[in-house]
Amino acid sequence: MRSELIEFFRFGRNDTGMLRTDDRYLQARGNEPVREVHIPIDHGDFLAKIDNLRYAVEHDSDRRQESLDELAALVSEVLGPCAERGEPVQIDLVTNAAELSALPFELAEGPGRRPIFAVSEPPVVLTRRVRLGASGPRRLWWSHPRVLFAAASPAGAGDPVPLVAHRKALREALNPWSEPLPVPGMADPPRDVDRMLTVIERAGLSTIREAALAAVREGRPYTHLHVLAHGCEVGTRHKPAFGVALFDDDGKSVARVTPGQLREALRPIEPGFVVVTLAVCDGGNEQNSVSGGGSIAHELHGAGVPVVVASQFPLTFAGSRIFTESFYRRLLAGRDVRLALHDARSRLHQEGAETAHDWASMVGYVQLPEDYQDRLYEVAMKAEWASLHTAQRWSDRLVHEGITDPKAYDTVADLLGQRIESLTGYVEGEVAEPAVAARLENLGLLGSAQKRLAELAFRRARLAGSDRDAWLATAREELERARHWYQQGFTENLSHHWHGVQALSLEAALTGRIARVGQWYAAREAAELDDDLWRAASLAEVLLLSPMAGQQRTVAGAEEQLAELVRRVRAQTPEAPFPIDSTIRQLERYAGWWTTGHGYFPGAAGDLAEDAGQLLRRLRELAADH
């Protein structure tokens, strides 16, 4: 996404100010010449128009629409043209003067008086920013999410907030990171989201701070804070300001929290939140520009939170729910935060009959790290991995629990296919360019996923009637694709012995031989030079494959490597024997699936079922002994 900076300047104090007709400002926009901008409205008239957008004020829809139209024309004139460019564009807006921060630039229009930031395609996204030079080091972008959901609806603050709807939206957004998904014919165990989502139903400053500090102490800090509460007035007659209504320390009475109090409560938390969303009326309201004092969003962003999203007007319950669903579903799937914001605004605009002008109300303060694209790739990949592992776990359950419902196989195969299709985009084309190391790992994941899908097809063939041959053919096709991904990874980096061994195993099973013996030696050498947990597993399998490469049968040597595998795993990760379980699953394929009876190892003197069965029995014995 291309970013275009637009910044406004004027002389004098920037923390206070009021709009006056014909006051002059300087606008710096990208590489364009600096231009002079005039304000076409006085502060009193501006506040009157803004007041017509408050849901609590009695006015008819025509009056509201008139104010929206007039404000849209005003901010479009001040901001300047923002046309669609044929590619996603971020308008990075810095309004140093307080009175300009109060302007609802999100209403700006493009050609044809279309609300450019709500309906543009490709997206034109408006984000705001506070210069953070004095706020210390910038926080790293998150790579694995943990969300703190703080809700509060104390008596007297307003109608009960939609806690259930927001919790549901956050849980569903975390689906890629949790398990399982519903599958016909299979029991649906509880989803594992508690480690990623904490809900405080009667939130106050102290409970939010204590929960965040406790997470830091346990080494799993929260990355996202979502606040659902009523906004409230916290200023005086002469210095109006908006805050948030939380619970007091007694957990019963209301605490009218100022922006500064929330900022100071979160400041000691290090590492702090990277994303804060405020489903709070007026959480982004900057209208108190005359006497100074920023909104909650402005204060948190100025204190160093990279991304803060809030509402600059009152927010409908329906709008808060739609925003939370849309924004977090895309963000936690690894989508660019700017595009996630645009998607949420677009959906609010589409459903305007229910959410009024909530689409224009949403403001996003965004300051991204310099390596954001790389970090974004990492997040997207981890979300894809988590989803893929969920589908693979379902695949394992089908195989190992003796499920015989064909619909269950079809559903899981579809899930795996979707994940494979999505993951393929991260190893091919432009999206794969930012992170070479991650791409190589993805090749192995794709190979593993295709192999799981092939196994599902093989098992599904046993349940099929006239479709049996088609399912068996699908199994072979998926193995060929798996071989392609493994071979590509090994070719690009010969030190990746796991890619190499898996490519060799599939070549042997599908063709009956290992044509290039040098690759067998290369995989063996790479494994011998490595020192990770998978070293012994690779060596055991490459020795099992010896006859296919024209070498002597060395089952005894493979057994020694399996003993080394068990020893290493038990010494390093006794509670997570995944390498052992994975090796057992691979040996089972040789023993019961990749056999000459099922059409594998064509043209060879025989298959490896007997040797694999011997190794499988020995590995199970070793695992049981430990």
Tens of pLDDT, residues 502-515: 999 999 999 999 99
Q: How confident is the model at residue 92 (pLDDT cuts 50, 70, 90)?
A: very high
User: Which of 5-19, 184-198, 367-381, 551-565 is the most confident on average?
Assistant: 551-565
Cα separation, 556 vs 553, in Å, equals 9
- Count Cβ atoms within 10 A of the Cβ of residue 499 and give its class: 0-12 exposed, 13-18 middle, 19 or more buried: buried
Cα separation, 376 vs 335, in Å, equals 7
Half-sphere exposure (CA, 13 Å, Cβ side) for 231? Answer: 28
Q: Is the pLDDT of residue 140 over 70?
A: no
Q: Which residues contact 447 (CB under 8 A, 6 or more apart)?
A: 482, 483, 485, 486, 489, 499, 502, 503
Number of helices and strands (H, E) in the chain? Answer: 22, 14
Rounded mean pLDDT, 99-117: 91
Instruction: Please give the pLDDT value at position 291.
Output: 59
Structure tokens at 248: 């007091």
Structure tokens at 341: 């914001």
Instruction: Please give the pLDDT value at position 179.
Output: 57
Q: How confident is the model at residue 414 (pLDDT cuts 50, 70, 90)?
A: confident
Instruction: Please give the pLDDT value at position 246.
Output: 95
Q: What are the two backbone dihedrals, phi and then psi, of residue 255, each rounded to the nearest 5 degrees? A: -120, 120
Structure tokens at 319: 């709008």
In this predicted model, which residue has the larger pLDDT, 619 or 402?
A: 619
Contact (Cβ atoms closer than 8 angstroms) between residue 47 and residue 134: no
Cα separation, 245 vs 262, in Å, equals 11
Q: Which residues contact 421 (CB under 8 A, 6 or more apart)?
A: none
Instruction: Please give the pLDDT value at position 177.
Output: 76
Contact (Cβ atoms closer than 8 angstroms) between residue 155 and residue 377: no
Map 320-362 to HEC letters: HHHHHHHHHHHHCCCCCHHHHHHHHHHHHHHCHHHHCCHHHHE
Q: How confident is the model at residue 417 (pLDDT cuts 50, 70, 90)?
A: confident
Amino acid at site 319: G
Cα separation, 438 vs 422, in Å, equals 15
CA-based R_g, the chain, Å: 30
Instruction: Please give the pLDDT value at position 134.
Output: 46
Q: Is the pLDDT of residue 146 over 70?
A: yes
Q: Is the pLDDT of residue 533 over 90?
A: no
Contact (Cβ atoms closer than 8 angstroms) between residue 394 and residue 417: no
Q: What are the two backbone dihedrals, phi and then psi, of residue 95, each rounded to the nearest 5 degrees? A: -110, 95
Q: Is the pLDDT of residue 249 over 80?
A: yes
Residue with tokens 């795993």: 569
Q: Is the pLDDT of residue 139 over 80?
A: no
Instruction: Please give the pLDDT value at position 604.
Output: 92
Cα separation, 601 vs 595, in Å, equals 7
- Count Cβ atoms within 10 A of the Cβ of residue 420 and give its class: 0-12 exposed, 13-18 middle, 19 or more buried: buried
Q: Is the pLDDT of residue 239 over 70?
A: yes
Q: Is 356 left (phi over 0), alpha (psi -120 to 50) or beta?
A: left
The alpha carbon of 334 is separated from its chain's Cα centroid by a whole number of angstroms, namely 3
Helical packing angle, 406-424 and 372-400, nearest 10°: 160
Look at residues 263, 364, 359, 377 and name the one whose alpha carbon lies nearest to residue 316. Answer: 359
For the stretch 26-75, pLDDT in tens is 999 988 999 999 889 998 898 888 888 876 555 577 888 888 999 999 99
Q: Coil, strand or helix: which one is 550?
A: coil
Instruction: Please give the pLDDT value at position 228.
Output: 97
Contact (Cβ atoms closer than 8 angstroms) between residue 238 and residue 188: no
Distances (CA, A) of 227 to 165, 207, 620: 13, 12, 50
First to last CA, the chain: 53
The alpha carbon of 238 is separated from its chain's Cα centroid by a whole number of angstroms, namely 43
Cα separation, 474 vs 459, in Å, equals 11
Name 95's bridge partners. 8
DSSP state letter for 547: G
- Count Cβ atoms within 10 A of the Cβ of residue 405 and give its class: 0-12 exposed, 13-18 middle, 19 or more buried: middle
Cα separation, 575 vs 141, in Å, equals 30
Map 6-42 to HEC letters: EEEECCCCCCCCCCCCCCEEEEEECCCCCEEEECCCC
Residue with tokens 């996404």: 1
Cα separation, 90 vs 99, in Å, equals 23
Angle at 167 between CA 229 and CA 123, to 5 degrees: 85
Q: Is the pLDDT of residue 141 over 90?
A: no
Q: Which residues contact 27 (CB under 8 A, 6 or more apart)?
A: 6, 7, 8, 9, 34, 35, 36, 37, 80
Q: What are the two backbone dihedrals, phi and then psi, of residue 446, each rounded to the nearest 5 degrees? A: -65, -45
Structure tokens at 63: 């009056």
Question: How many other C-beta atoms lie within 10 A of the C-beta of residue 506?
Answer: 26
Proportion of the chain above pLDDT 70, given as a percent: 90
Rounded mean pLDDT, 384-397: 75
For the stretch 441-493, pLDDT in tens is 778 888 988 998 999 899 889 887 778 899 999 999 999 999 999 999 999 88
Q: Is the pLDDT of residue 437 over 90?
A: no
Rounded mean pLDDT, 549-566: 94
Instruction: Please give the pLDDT value at position 58.
Output: 54
Report the mean per-residue pLDDT for the chain. 86
